[in-house]
Structure 1
Amino acid sequence: MDSQNQPISAPTLFSSFAAITKARLAISVVFSTIAGYVLGVDSWGSDNLVVLLLLAIGGYCMVGASNVFNQVLEKDLDALMDRTKSRPLPAGLISKNNALILGFILTILGLVILYAVNPKTAMFGAISIFMYVCLYTPLKTVTPLSVFVGAFPGAIPYMLGWVAATGNFGIEAGTLFIIQFFWQFPHFWAIGWFLYDDYKKAGFFMLPTGQRDKKTALQTILYTVWMMLASLIPALGMTGKLYLTKISAALVVLLGCWMLFYAVKLYKEMDAKAARKLMIVSVSYISLLQIIFILDKFLR
């Protein structure tokens, strides 16, 4: 029997769906959204659990759609890189047309679900997917400024949760946005450093100078410092309902110093191993930071 006529098994469909929507990345983004929502809620009831479920599903749909469209646009480039050549599209597991259909279905479904939460949440979700697909993705092969552009949709999920909880975009949501905005730079530059050779095959420009040099490493340190300072803004009592106690602020400083240590280590060692370690620490940093903010709210 022709292998093309054989039905695709459920596990293969699931693994292909997880791969083309980048499930691990999508789940981490959804976690940021939920963290922002928990920070914005004043009181808890059964309705909050419904909204959380809608945010989780709608958020995954929007991030998944962004990743699907990204892979459709970069199908041929993904085939050139070792890290991505086994993805469903370059590997031929999913056709380009079917991927586009999936992307549009996820987009519409995500927007409808987020609109059910409130219109502003859907609006920011739409802005995020537009910037990621139409601006960040094509700019990756043109200029290192793609990381700057990509930092905008990347920073939206954390504040999106607050907007979902309150229906408003104010100083609190803006502060959450700024924190995650500055975090994007050391995180993605670390990735761009240790995957430099692979990215080069596809012509991606991810590092600020285009090279793994001291200037790139120094900028990684500087943006880590900016990230640390932004994370401490709520401790100053100037961000409305978003507030951080002195004890939690001290924990945030320690957490930031932990990440700064590995940024400095990259500057000293200038190798892929140090960059990979910084990337891993950065992922832990943003999750732990959000947990500290949540615990601070409920324990103070």
Structure 2
Amino acid sequence: MKTAAGTIKQATWSMTMSDFKELTKVRLAVSVVFSSIAGYFLGAYQVDFVSILLLAFGGYCMVGASNAYNQIIEKDLDALMQRTKNRPLPAGRVTRKNALVIAIVLTILGVVSLYFLNPKTALFGAISIFLYTSLYTPLKTKTPLSVFVGAIPGAIPFMLGWVAATNDFGIEPGTLFMIQFFWQFPHFWALGWMLDEDYKKGGFKMLPTGKKDTGTALQIILYTIWMIVISIMPAFGFTGRLELSVIAAIIIFLMGVVMLIFAFKLYEKRDNISARKLMLASVSYITLMQIVFVIDKFI
């Protein structure tokens, strides 16, 4: 009997953790934390591991809170879509009330943790939650411009790390913000292309033209080009302390060209397979680009 009870308890705890991870979108949250830490390393004069822990914890809490609020608001719409109908809220495993408590607790923990770093970091974190929850989420069913609005909180993490390290906002974190801002358009439009039919079930308008057409594909190409240009700007001495060696700039440029090739392939074929390849290329690009920036600083 004790063994059976222990097994049930363990299974319940596992399910609870699974739902928490899904409610906070753990993979997305971890990628955001990675961006923040990369920004911290770029800005830091001296690396402080307590600060990194505060940034990682606070960053996860802020992203987790944003995702929880998002799922509370979109519970009924999530139930209509194949990819989201088994999330904790539409599936009935977590109530809106409990999800709201989790979101509020995460918000408080996140703001407090980031405030211990400095008030500016906490402010940007709070702005990120507000924009994601109050503007981006409701706009998704109203206009494709929601992607533009959502790109603002989505671009904050890379910048946030620099602000956490320096307690300063200038050209350097502004450049980091712009890199991740322009990156989001090809990334999310590729994702939107893949999931367009499912998104339409929930009434979401994610593609710039509203269709999987050459207009959308062309905009993906243009934003990818802007992303590449801004990513290598630090090599030309325009961005203060944020610098990039010629070799690092060439590596980042070539990685961007690879992503651009996938964007052209999508323009040519206009199919879900090409969109998926572009989406995966974009994930690789943002991660490797940040790693190259950090390694270049310390070598």
TM range (shorter): over 0.9
Partner in structure 2 of residue 22 of structure 1:
25
Question: CA separation in 2, counterparts of 1:43 and 1:70?
Answer: 36
Shift in Å, 1:273: 0.7
1:41 paired with 2:48, answer no
Residue in 2 that maps onto 1:71: 71
Say whether residues 1:31 and 2:34 are aligned partners.
yes
Residue equivalent to 2:97 = 97
Confirm whether residue 116 of structure 1 aligns to residue 110 of structure 2.
no
Match in the other structure for 1:203: 203
Residue by residue over 1:138-176, the C-alpha shift from the partner in whole angstroms, topping out at 9 and shown as x without a partner, is: 000000000000000000000000000000001000000
Q: Which runs of 5+ in 1 are unaligned?
A: 1-5
Give 3-state SS (helix, strand or coil) of 2:241's partner.
Answer: coil
Partners of 1:259 and 1:158 in 2: CA distance: 20
Alpha-carbon separation, structure 2, partners of 1:251 and 1:74: 40
Is residue 2:56 matched to residue 1:53? no
Which residue does 1:240 correspond to in 2? 240
Amino acid at match of 1:165: A
Aligned equivalents of 2:17 and 2:145: distance in 1? 35
C-alpha deviations, 1:158-213, integer Å up to 9, x for none? 00000000000010000000000000100000010010000010010000000000
How far residue 43 of structure 1 moved from its aligned partner, in angstroms, is 2.2
Amino acid at match of 2:233: I
Aligned to 2:267: 267
Aligned equivalents of 1:92, 1:203: Cα separation in 2? 21
Give the Cα separation in 2 of the matches to 1:118 and 1:258.
38
In 2, the alpha carbon distance for the partners of 1:238 and 1:95 equals: 50
Deviations 1:106-127 (A, max 9, x none): 0011000000010000000000
1:52-88, Cα deviation, whole Å (9 max, x unpaired): 0000100000000000000000000000000000000
Please give the per-residue CA displacement for 1:8-64, whole angstroms capped at 9, x wherever unaligned: 7111111010000000000000000000000001123xxx10000000100000000
Give the alignment partner of residue 11 of structure 1, picking from 10, 14, 32: 14
Runs of at least 5 residues in structure 2 that lack an aligned partner in the other structure:
1-7
Q: What is the aligned-residue RMSD (CA, Å)?
A: 0.9
Q: Which runs of 4+ in 1 moved over 4 A?
A: none
What are the residue-to-residue correspondences of 1:120-139 with 2, within 5 Å? Answer: 120-139=120-139
Q: TM-score, normalised by structure 1?
A: 0.96
After TM superposition, list the pairs within 5 Å mapping 1:260-299 onto structure 2: 260-299=260-299
Give runs of aligned pairs for residues 165-176 of structure 1, distance below 5 A: 165-176=165-176
Identity over aligned pairs, percent: 64
- Once residues 252 and 34 of structure 2 are traced to their aligned partners in structure 1, the CA distance between those partners, rounded to angstroms, is 19
For 1:110 and 1:295, locate their aligned partners in 2 and report how far apart those are by CA, in whole Å: 28
TM-score for the superposition, normalised by structure 2: 0.96
**Distance across 2 between alignment mates of 1:134 and 1:169:** 24
